């Protein structure tokens, strides 16, 4: 039975056409994957079903849900429909959840609004729903707040809010983009379980082809507001008739060309020696002894010049704390960090600021890491404040031009504002900012996780080319193990503040020794064309 039928949907915002002749069906109890890059129209298509559209939107076509025509529904009718029959899981749970309300209040709110149940009855149903999404009462009472939870736990709260009233259609918009690989696998398994147990239909919106190939019964591929290919998942991925589908597949499995790294044990860029970092825990009462949580516990490793090293692990394993310690943004409780053989920071002492320029960082979200009021020229020259010598205007101009051109941009781009660039171009500017002081080491903190697959492939190619050209060393921190595998020479696996396994990247991925590493490798979504074609022959 067809639950959702969209035919000839055209949508414009103002005078700008956004969607063009969109047609697809979603059967009851099935999973439909909608894939495409940013700007392809995935999210606005889903929001059209819920009629959660921005001001100035006009649309025509037919959208039928459960046999009814949504064109004829009033706003009051839609208020009844949303949450009751159609629910949505948004991409970023921390911004979608209310930070000043408990998780119990947020899950029970829609129950009270739609059913008229008393607070006690709604709280009881909320408790049962949170139990279903594996947030048991012993660890996650209704009184907890979103900031008390990890990213995966917050996403489970979002799922509980969406399924509390057992809707017929669940729309999940990039539900796992910001999650580490094991948490992603748990969330996807939970969604599949809900489809099986409740018989609901799932519309899964993502740019990750591996996730869609693993989960979806049917798939729709979108580009520039149009559907370029659709059909059963096995058929689409085994045949890939449209060039854009082929391009997405190629970008998802892209491996940058890199010169083999020649390791010189006498040329060490970064040396981390028995580093430990603690955080104070809240006191249970006024006169209780101060307790500490050890986020990084006795970590030691080295990075050679020109070597690319990956640091992987689940949320809360200590990756971010370790990176801040390396950059001297977090004081060390034990150990030393050496840059180019000289002590950069150590326990009980502040950093040697004369070495600050030798280490730079590229953040996950380039837009939020820039001041939008300043032009690119000023933004990328900020690291010059870490250098002791003063440069003339002419020297700065030469450095700006070299940095921008080295990342594939033009010198005149320095006179633009950051909002004038695409996501991939902004990340190139972030890399230019890191390069401008000619550092020895760049820390890449989830530097490509927010990018579309084709843009990600371009940025990875750029990073590989820059490493070879300037003999740069990278510490590549990522939850995307496929990216780490494609660009790093060596990988460090971190669990509970310790490095539990290290070795050449291919060796660790092909023959993991530690149980935790094995669980990470098993959780990676796979996009194997031969395996997909083998399944097609079996069916």
Cα 98–Cα 281–Cα 126 angle in degrees, nearest 5: 35
- At a CB cut-off of 8 Å and minimum separation 6, what does 271 contact? 302, 336, 337, 338, 341
Burial state string for 138-148 with b = 16 or more CB within 10 A and e = fewer than 16: eebebebebee
β-bridge mates for residue 503, sequence order: 491
What's phi and psi for 417, nearest 5 deg?
-95, 160
Q: Cβ atoms within 10 A of the Cβ of 515, count?
A: 10
How far is residue 23's CA from residue 2's CA, in Å, rounded to a whole number? Answer: 13
Residue with the two structure tokens 């060393």: 473
- At a CB cut-off of 8 Å and minimum separation 6, what does 468 contact? 258, 259, 306
* Residue 535 pLDDT: 56
Best CA proximity match to 37, nearest among 456, 503, 377, 348: 456
3-state secondary structure of 382: helix
* Residue 110 pLDDT: 87
β-bridge mates for residue 375, sequence order: 417
* Residue 459 pLDDT: 87
Contact 45, 39 (CB under 8 A): no
3-state secondary structure of 58: strand
CATH class of 268-283+290-526: alpha beta
Task: Label the pairing between strands 498-504 and 342-346.
Answer: unpaired
Encoded tokens for 317: 């394993």
What's phi and psi for 135, nearest 5 deg?
-120, 80
Q: Give, in order, the Cα–Cα distances in Å from 117 to each of 86, 167, 300, 378, 442.
A: 20, 17, 56, 57, 55
By CB atoms closer than 10 A (0-12, 13-18, 19+), residue 118 is: exposed
Residue with the two structure tokens 């992603």: 184
How far is residue 234's CA from residue 539's CA, in Å, rounded to a whole number? Answer: 9
- At a CB cut-off of 8 Å and minimum separation 6, what does 240 contact? 229, 246, 249
Alpha helix (H) ranges present in 133-270?
151-163, 181-198, 209-215, 233-239, 243-252
What dihedral angle (degrees, nearest 10) is formed by the CA atoms of 484, 488, 490, 493? -20
Residue with the two structure tokens 């504002």: 417
Predicted TM-score (pTM) above 0.95: no
Task: Label the pairing between strands 226-232 and 218-223.
Answer: antiparallel
How far is residue 280's CA from residue 283's CA, in Å, rounded to a whole number? Answer: 9
Sorted by where each begins, the domain ranges of the chain are 97-166, 268-283+290-526
Contact 256, 238 (CB under 8 A): no
Q: Which helix (H) or strand (E) holds 94?
A: helix 93-96
Alpha helix (H) ranges present in 253-344?
319-326
Q: Which helix (H) or strand (E) holds 443?
A: strand 441-445
Encoded tokens for 315: 């949320």
Q: In angstroms, how far is the first alpha carbon of the chain from the final one?
A: 22
Best CA proximity match to 170, nearest among 111, 82, 110: 82
* Residue 171 pLDDT: 93
* DSSP classification of residue 288: S
- Tell me the mean pLDDT per 10 residues along the chain, length 539: 92 92 93 89 91 90 89 85 88 82 92 89 93 88 88 85 90 80 83 87 88 90 93 88 90 82 82 93 83 91 94 85 91 93 88 87 81 92 80 87 90 91 85 91 85 84 90 89 89 93 93 92 76 58
- At a CB cut-off of 8 Å and minimum separation 6, what does 391 contact? 384, 399
* Residue 533 pLDDT: 60
Q: Cβ atoms within 10 A of the Cβ of 242, count?
A: 16
How far is residue 342's CA from residue 39's CA, in Å, rounded to a whole number? Answer: 47
β-bridge mates for residue 25, sequence order: 5
């Amino acid at each position: 039975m067809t639950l959702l039928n969209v035919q000839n949907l055209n949508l414009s915002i103002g005078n700008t056409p956004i969607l063009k002749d969109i047609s697809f069906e979603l059967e009851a109890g099935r999973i439909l994957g909608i894939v495409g890059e940013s700007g392809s129209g995935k999210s606005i298509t889903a929001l059209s079903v819920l009629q959660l559209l921005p001001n100035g939107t006009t649309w025509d076509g037919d959208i039928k849900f459960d046999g009814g025509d949504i064109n004829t529904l009033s706003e009051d009718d839609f208020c009844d429909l949303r949450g009751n029959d159609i629910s949505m899981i948004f991409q970023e749970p921390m911004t979608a959840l209310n930070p000043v309300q408990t998780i119990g209040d947020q899950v029970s709110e829609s129950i009270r609004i739609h059913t008229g149940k008393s607070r006690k009855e709604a709280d009881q149903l909320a408790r049962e729903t949170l139990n279903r999404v594996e947030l048991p009462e012993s660890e996650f009472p209704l009184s907890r707040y979103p900031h008390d939870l990890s990213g995966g736990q917050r996403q489970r709260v979002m799922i509980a809010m969406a399924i509390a009233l057992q809707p017929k259609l669940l729309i999940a918009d990039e539900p796992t983009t910001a999650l580490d690989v094991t948490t992603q696998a748990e969330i996807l398994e939970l969604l599949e379980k809900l489809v099986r147990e409740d018989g609901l239909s799932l519309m899964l919106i993502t740019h990750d082809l591996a996730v869609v190939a693993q989960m979806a019964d049917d798939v729709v591929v979108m580009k520039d507001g149009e559907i370029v290919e659709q059909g059963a998942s096995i058929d689409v991925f085994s045949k890939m008739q449209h060039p854009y589908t082929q391009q997405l597949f190629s970008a998802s499995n892209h491996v940058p060309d890199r010169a083999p790294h020649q390791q010189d044990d006498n040329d060490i860029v970064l040396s981390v020696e028995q580093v430990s970092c603690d955080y104070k825990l809240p006191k249970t009462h006024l006169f209780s002894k101060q307790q500490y949580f050890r986020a990084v516990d006795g970590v030691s490793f080295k990075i050679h010049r020109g070597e690319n090293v990956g640091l992987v692990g689940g949320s809360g394993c200590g990756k971010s704390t370790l990176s801040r310690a390396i950059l001297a943004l977090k004081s060390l409780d034990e150990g030393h960090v050496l840059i180019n053989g000289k002590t950069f920071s150590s326990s009980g002492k502040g950093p040697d600021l004369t070495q600050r320029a030798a280490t730079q960082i590229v953040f996950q979200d380039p837009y939020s890491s820039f001041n939008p009021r300043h032009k690119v020229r000023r933004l990328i020259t900020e690291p010059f404040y870490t250098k002791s010598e003063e440069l003339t205007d002419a020297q700065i101009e030469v450095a700006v031009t070299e940095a921008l051109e080295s990342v594939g941009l033009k010198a005149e781009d320095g006179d633009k504002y950051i909002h004038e660039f695409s996501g991939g171009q902004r990340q190139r500017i972030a890399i230019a900012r890191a390069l401008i002081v000619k550092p020895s080491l760049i820390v890449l903190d989830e530097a490509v996780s927010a990018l579309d697959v084709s843009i990600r492939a371009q940025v990875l190619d750029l990073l590989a080319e820059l490493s070879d050209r300037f003999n740069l060393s990278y510490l590549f921190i990522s939850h995307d193990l496929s990216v780490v595998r494609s660009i790093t020479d060596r990988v460090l696996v971190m669990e509970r503040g310790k490095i539990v396994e290290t070795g050449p990247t291919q060796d660790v991925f092909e023959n993991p020794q530690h149980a935790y590493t094995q669980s990470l490798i098993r959780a990676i979504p796979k996009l194997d064309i031969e395996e997909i074609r083998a399944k097609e022959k079996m069916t």
